[in-house]
Amino acid sequence: MDSIILGQVLQYAGIAIEACLIVCVAQSARRGRLAPVGLYLACQLGASLGRAFALQIYGFKSPQYSYVYWTTDFLLVIAAFALVCFFFRRAFRNEEKMWRFARLLLSFVLVLVVGISGASFLRNFVLLDTRYIVEFSQNLYFTCLVLNTLLYILLVQMESTDEQLGLLVCGVGIQFAGPAATMALFHLTTGERFAAALNSVALPVCTLGMLVVWAYAIVRVRDKDKNKGLQVPRPEKAVLAEVTAD
């Protein structure tokens, strides 16, 4: 029960931070480049609110809450994969050949994950159970974690000057590591109590870690833009007057 309460506290803290970050992205001068991040945050916020509502109405052990949780988890993992694709596109925006190769790789990986999970589902189509949604989410979360790690290594090798992208990628790595590990444990133990309790705490902790890193990335770049804006060029007349005086 303590893990459930702690998970709820962390979840509500995450909701507050997500809402603040969405506002920051909307007000950012670079909101065009951050639009996919804002959309992912909106998906996170919607899922968190939906889960909190189902938890309050139906309770933690209710089948309704389980359906809401795993349905939103399925949607979130799709959004997460789309976000990783956006990161690859942003990283290779000046490298068209690299982007074409990355796009092919991402498409192949998605088809492979869907095929593996779909084959498992068809073998067990009589037993409609959330275990197969868990398996798909686990496979795609792990895939996202591997792709995100690969992207971070590429950014380091390329000596990318996009500091914000590096921080965003690091934040996603924190958020993906939790679901990939805890859902694997949940799946292997077929929903054992310890795995479920760990899942209820580890996921919001990793999400909070990601949100903190993202908040730093967004606010840091916004402050840099403001500082650049304060450095207003001096009027030509003033410069000419100084030269004349000398």
Q: pLDDT means per 10 residues in the chain (246 residues)? A: 67 86 82 87 91 84 83 89 94 89 91 78 53 75 90 89 90 83 68 64 83 88 57 45 46
3-state secondary structure 90-149: HHCCCCHHHHHHHHHHHHHHHHHHHHHHHHHHHHCCCCCCHHHHHHHHHHHHHHHHHHHH
Fold of 2-245: Rhopdopsin 7-helix transmembrane proteins (1.20.1070)
- Residue with structure tokens 């990601």? 210
Structure tokens at 63: 């089948």
What pTM was computed for the model?
A: 0.80
pLDDT at 131: 63
Structure tokens at 119: 């084959």
pLDDT at 235: 47
Per the CB < 8 A criterion, the answer to whether 214 and 168 are in contact is yes
Query: CA-to-CA distance for 211 and 185, rounded, in angstroms?
Result: 24
Query: CA-to-CA distance for 63 and 58, rounded, in angstroms?
Result: 8
pLDDT at 213: 93
pLDDT at 122: 61
Chain centroid offset of residue 224 CA: 24
**Helices 193-230 and 35-58: angle between axes, nearest 10 degrees:** 140
Q: In terms of C-beta density within 10 A (0-12 exposed, 13-18 middle, 19 or more buried), how is residue 75 classed?
A: middle
Chain centroid offset of residue 122 CA: 29
The domains of the chain are located at 2-245
- Measured from the Cβ of residue 82, the count of other Cβ atoms closer than 10 Å reads 16
pLDDT at 127: 46
